[in-house]
Amino acid sequence: MKIYDATNKELMAVSSIARDGDDLVIKGKIFGAMPMTAKLRPEEARAALKLLDAKTVLFLLTLLFRKSSKA
């Protein structure tokens, strides 16, 4: 999976997402070079869900079935 910035440049290439106890561990490379391991804790996941409104949740559910709109 790749994450892009506002100018469509690759920001991060995620190589794995796995569970580590109660945390979610995301491994990848930032800017194609620097390895990174990030942990998402349960309280931070709950905080992220509070940022979503109903329209965004609906969009996320349909995102998997949409075609890419590459620039």
Domain tally, the chain? 1
What pLDDT, on a 0 to 100 scale, did the predictor assign at position 68?
83
Instruction: Determine, yes or no, domain membership for 27.
Output: yes
State pLDDT tens for residues 17-55: 999 999 999 999 999 899 999 999 999 999 999 999 999
Q: Which domain holds residue 50?
A: 2-63
What pLDDT, on a 0 to 100 scale, did the predictor assign at position 41?
96
Instruction: Determine, yes or no, domain membership for 70.
Output: no
What pLDDT, on a 0 to 100 scale, did the predictor assign at position 71?
56
Residue 38's closest CA among 63, 12, 57, 64?
Answer: 12
